Amino acid sequence: MSPHAQPSDDFHVEPGEAAERTHALYADLRARCPVARTSGLGGFYAVTRHADVARVAASPAEFTTTVQNVVPRVAYTGRRPPLHLDPPEHTPYRAALNPLLSAQRVATLEPMVREVVDDALRPLLERGRGDLCAEFSGRFPVSVFGRWMNLDEALTSQLMDAGPAFIRSVQAFDADAMKSTSLVLYDMARSLLQQRRAHPLPVDVDPVSALLAARVDVDGVATPLPEEMIVGTVRQVLVVGIVAPMVMLGSIAIHLAREPDLHRRLREEPALLPDAVEEFLRLYSPYRGFARTAVHDCEIGGRQVPAGAAVALTYASANRDSAVFDDPDRFVLGRPNIQDHLAFGRGPHFCAGAHLARLELRVALEALVGRIGRIEVDGPVLYCPYPEIGPYQVPVRLHAVDVR
What is the full per-residue pLDDT of the chain (404 aa) written as tens digits? 344 445 579 999 887 888 999 999 999 999 999 999 999 989 999 999 999 999 999 999 999 999 999 998 876 666 788 989 999 999 999 999 999 999 999 999 999 999 999 999 999 999 999 999 999 999 999 999 999 999 999 999 999 999 889 888 877 778 888 889 989 999 999 999 999 999 999 999 999 999 999 999 999 999 999 999 999 999 988 888 888 999 999 999 999 999 999 999 999 999 999 999 999 999 999 999 899 999 999 999 999 999 999 999 999 999 999 999 999 999 999 999 999 999 999 999 999 999 999 999 999 999 999 999 999 999 999 999 888 999 999 999 999 886 54
Residue 24 CA to residue 353 CA, distance in Å, equals 30
For residue 403, the model assigns a pLDDT of: 52
> Which among 27, 22, 28, 20 is positioned nearest to 258, based on CA atoms?
20
- CATH number of the domain at 19-34+41-399, please? 1.10.630.10
Kindly state the helix (H) or strand (E) to which residue 142 belongs, with its residue range.
Answer: helix 140-148
For residue 164, the model assigns a pLDDT of: 87
Domain definitions of the chain by residue range: 19-34+41-399
Query: Are 214 and 225 in contact, with CB atoms under 8 Å apart?
Result: yes
HSE value, Cβ hemisphere, 13 Å, CA-based, for 187: 11
Strands annotated E in 263-337: 290-294, 298-300, 303-305, 310-313
For residue 277, the model assigns a pLDDT of: 98
Backbone dihedral region for residue 217 (phi beyond 0: left; psi -120 to 50: alpha; all else: beta): beta
Q: What distances in angstroms separate CA 335 from CA 33, 97, 306, 359, one per listed residue? A: 27, 31, 37, 20
Kindly state the helix (H) or strand (E) to which residue 253 belongs, with its residue range.
Answer: helix 243-258
- Dihedrals phi, psi of 314, to nearest 5 degrees: -85, 75
